[in-house]
C-alpha cells in the first residue's frame, strides 16, 4: 500500500523540471549499485560536462528540495522520507530483478485483457465503428472512424472506387475505405506514418504463423532480459538517436527492453508478421515512454504509465483478435501507401481516375509532426541522423515554423490571395517588436502556398463531379484569427473547383487563446 509520505513525494517529484527528474532517477539507481561513477553517468545521461554549472545547479536544487543528502564530491545518501520513492525508482529501472508477465506465452483469448463488444460475427460497419484495426495505432489528430463510412455513403461511393488520402497519417481513411470495398491510395511524407498505414491495411496474415513467432519472440525476451548487460545486441536506434534526446524519451531500463525486443523481432523471416510486431513494438514503446502530447511534446519521467511489456502483450493480442474478425469477411478494397509528399501525386495517379478524396491536412498551428514521431522514426530505422530527419521535414506541408527552410518558396502562390496577405500582415504587426514569432507570418504564407499546390495537384487527377473533402480547423496565431476554411475555399474556386462550401464538424478550444474555434469540413467538387 502506498504511504502518505510516498504519495506526497511522488506528487512533488512529478513537479520537478525534466533535468532534475532525470538526475534524481539516475542518482537513486546508481546508489543501488552500478559500474560507473555517478558523475560519469550523469554526464552521459544529460549530455552536460561533469563540471557543468547547469548540472550542478540541478543537483543542488534536489538537495534543497529534500530528495537528496550530500554532493558530487562527498557522495550522496537518501533522506529517510525518500526511501519508499528510492525503492520505487530502483524497482522500475532494474531489468535484472524486474518481474515480467508471462501471459503472452499462453496467447490467451482477448477476454482476459479487453471486453468483447459482440459475441457473434460483426458487420463491416460494426468493425469500423468500434475501431477494429484502427486502434492498432491511433494518432493525436485522427478523425472519427465513422466519419469515413458516413461520407462514403453520403456521396454514394461504390465498391472498387478509388479513394485518395493526401495526408495518410495513421491510415484512418485507407482502413475505412478498405472495409467498404473501395480501393485507396494514401500519401505521407513521414516514412513512419506510411509504414503504420501500410501495416494496418495488410490483412492477409497467416495467424498460425503469427502466433508461432509471437511465442518464440516472447520466450526469448523473457529468457534474455534479466541478462541483458552480459549479452551483445545490435544497438541500432540506441546509437543513432542523439543521446540527450533518447534519454528524454526513454528510461535506461526501457531502452534495454525495447532494444532487446527490436533485435528479436528483426530476426523474424516472415515480412508481414515482422511488420505487425514492429508496429506493436513502436506503439507500446511510445505509450510507456516519458512523452506527453499536450499539444506539443513534453516529458514527465515520474508520470505513472503502464509497463512496456504489458502494453506489448495487449497489442499483439489485439492485433491477432482483430485479424480474426476481419478475416471472416473476404471482400475488401486494395490499398497502396506511398512515402512521398502528396504534391507529387501526379507521379503515381493517372488523370481523371480519382472518385473521392477525404483528408485532414495539417493546420497552421506550429505543430511539427516529426517531433512527435521522432523516437519511432529512429527505433524502426527510418532515420539514422538529424540530416535524414531534415530531408523528411522539407517534404511536409509547412504548418510549423520548424518546417521552413531557405529553399521553401510556396508562399509565392499564397500571396495571390488577399486574405492570406491580410492575416500575414496582422501577425507581423503582433510580432515585429518581439524576440519571438518573427517567422510566423512566413509560416502562414508557406502553409497556404502548399495547400494551394495540393488542391492544384489533385484537380486534374479527379473524375468529373468527384468530391474533395478536407477536415480542417480555423486557427489563431498570436491573437490573429486565421479563417483557414474560407481561404481554402477561395483557393479551390480560383483553381476551378465547383460548388465549394463548408459544414461544421465540431467546435474546439484554442490551446493558445480562450476562444472556441470551428473545425469544419471543406467540400469542393470538380
Q: Which of 61-70, 246-255, 316-325, 469-478 has the lowest mean pLDDT?
A: 61-70
- What pLDDT shows up at residue 261? 98
pTM as predicted: 0.90
Specify the CATH class of 131-192+332-399+451-525 in words: alpha beta
Considering only residues 494 and 47, tell me which one the structure prediction assigns the higher pLDDT.
Answer: 494
Q: Above 50 in pLDDT, residue 113? A: no
Q: Are strands 183-187 and 162-165 parallel, antiparallel or unpaired?
A: parallel
Query: Grid coordinates in use for 275?
Result: 511488420
Considering only residues 252 and 507, tell me which one the structure prediction assigns the higher pLDDT.
Answer: 252
| DSSP structural state of residue 333 | -
- What pLDDT shows up at residue 268? 97
Q: What is the band of 343 on the pLDDT scale with cuts at 50, 70, 90?
A: very high
The contacts of residue 463 (CB under 8 Å, 6+ apart) are 352, 353, 354, 355, 526
- CATH of the domain spanning 4-93: 1.10.10
Burial class (CB in 10 A: 0-12, 13-18, 19+), 82: buried
Rounded CA-CA distance 160/305 in Å is 43
Rounded CA-CA distance 383/390 in Å is 10
Q: Which of 23-32, 200-209, 329-338 has the lowest mean pLDDT?
A: 23-32
Please identify which residue in the block is written with the cell numbers 508520470: 303
Stretch(es) of the chain classified as CATH 3.40.50.150: 131-192+332-399+451-525
Predicted confidence (pLDDT) per residue in 2-43, tens digit: 456 555 665 566 778 888 888 888 887 777 665 556 777 788
Considering only residues 367 and 230, tell me which one the structure prediction assigns the higher pLDDT.
Answer: 230
Top mean-pLDDT range of 94-103, 162-171, 509-518 = 162-171
Length of the chain measured in residues = 526
Considering only residues 39 and 348, tell me which one the structure prediction assigns the higher pLDDT.
Answer: 348
Q: Above 90 in pLDDT, residue 173? A: yes
Q: Above 80 in pLDDT, residue 381? A: yes
How many C-beta atoms lie closer than 10 Å to residue 242's C-beta?
13
- What pLDDT shows up at residue 208? 94
Amino acid at each position: 500500500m502506498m504511504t502518505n509520505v510516498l504519495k506526497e513525494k511522488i506528487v512533488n517529484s512529478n513537479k520537478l523540471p525534466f533535468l532534475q527528474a532525470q538526475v534524481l532517477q539516475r542518482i537513486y539507481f546508481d546508489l543501488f549499485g552500478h559500474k560507473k561513477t555517478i558523475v560519469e553517468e550523469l554526464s552521459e545521461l544529460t549530455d552536460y560536462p561533469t563540471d557543468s554549472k547547469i548540472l550542478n545547479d540541478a543537483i543542488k536544487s534536489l538537495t534543497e528540495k529534500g530528495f537528496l543528502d550530500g554532493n558530487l564530491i562527498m557522495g550522496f545518501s537518501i533522506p529517510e522520507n525518500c526511501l519508499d520513492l528510492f525503492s520505487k525508482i530502483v524497482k522500475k529501472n532494474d531489468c535484472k530483478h524486474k518481474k515480467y508477465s508471462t501471459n503472452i506465452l499462453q496467447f490467451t483469448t482477448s477476454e482476459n485483457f479487453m471486453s468483447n463488444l459482440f459475441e457473434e460475427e460483426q458487420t463491416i460497419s460494426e468493425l469500423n465503428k468500434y475501431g477494429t484495426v484502427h486502434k492498432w495505432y491511433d494518432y493525436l489528430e485522427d478523425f472519427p472512424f465513422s466519419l469515413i463510412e458516413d461520407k462514403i455513403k453520403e456521396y454514394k461511393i461504390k465498391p472498387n472506387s478509388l479513394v485518395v488520402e493526401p495526408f495518410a497519417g495513421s491510415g484512418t481513411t485507407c482502413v475505412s475505405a478498405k472495409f467498404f470495398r473501395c480501393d485507396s491510395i494514401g500519401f505521407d511524407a513521414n516514412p513512419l506514418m506510411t509504414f503504420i498505414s501500410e501495416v494496418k491495411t495488410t490483412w492477409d496474415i497467416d495467424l498460425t504463423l503469427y502466433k508461432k513467432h509471437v511465442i518464440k519472440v516472447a520466450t526469448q525476451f523473457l529468457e534474455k532480459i534479466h541478462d541483458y548487460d552480459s549479452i551483445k545486441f545490435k544497438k541500432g536506434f540506441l546509437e543513432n538517436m542523439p543521446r540527450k534526446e533518447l534519454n528524454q524519451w526513454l528510461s535506461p531500463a526501457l531502452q534495454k527492453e525495447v532494444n532487446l525486443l527490436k533485435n528479436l523481432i528483426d530476426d523474424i523471416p516472415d515480412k508481414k508478421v515482422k511488420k505487425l510486431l514492429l508496429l506493436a513494438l513502436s506503439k507500446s514503446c511510445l505509450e510507456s515512454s516519458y512523452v506527453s502530447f499536450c499539444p506539443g511534446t513534453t516529458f514527465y519521467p515520474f508520470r505513472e504509465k503502464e509497463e512496456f511489456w504489458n502494453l506489448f502483450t495487449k497489442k499483439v493480442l489485439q492485433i491477432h483478435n482483430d485479424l480474426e474478425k476481419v478475416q471472416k469477411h473476404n471482400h475488401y478494397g486494395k490499398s497502396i501507401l506511398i512515402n512521398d509528399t502528396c504534391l507529387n501525386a501526379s507521379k503515381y495517379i493517372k488523370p481523371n481516375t480519382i472518385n473521392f478524396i477525404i483528408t485532414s491536412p495539417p493546420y497552421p498551428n506550429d505543430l511539427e509532426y516529426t517531433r512527435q514521431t521522432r523516437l519511432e522514426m529512429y527505433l524502426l530505422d527510418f532515420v539514422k541522423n538529424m540530416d535524414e530527419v531534415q530531408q523528411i521535414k522539407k517534404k511536409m506541408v509547412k504548418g510549423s515554423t520548424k518546417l521552413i527552410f531557405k529553399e521553401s518558396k510556396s508562399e509565392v502562390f499564397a500571396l495571390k490571395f488577399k486574405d492570406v496577405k491580410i492575416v500575414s500582415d496582422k501577425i507581423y504587426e503582433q510580432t515585429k517588436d518581439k524576440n519571438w514569432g518573427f517567422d510566423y507570418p512566413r509560416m502562414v504564407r508557406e502553409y497556404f502556398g502548399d495547400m494551394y499546390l495540393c488542391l492544384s495537384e489533385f484537380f486534374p487527377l479527379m473524375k468529373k463531379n468527384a468530391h474533395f473533402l478536407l477536415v480542417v480547423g480555423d486557427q489563431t496565431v498570436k491573437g490573429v484569427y486565421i479563417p483557414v476554411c474560407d481561404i481554402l475555399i477561395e483557393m479551390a474556386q480560383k483553381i476551378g473547383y465547383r460548388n465549394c462550401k463548408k459544414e461544421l464538424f465540431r467546435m474546439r478550444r484554442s490551446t493558445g487563446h480562450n476562444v472556441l474555434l470551428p473545425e469544419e469540413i471543406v467540400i469542393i467538387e470538380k
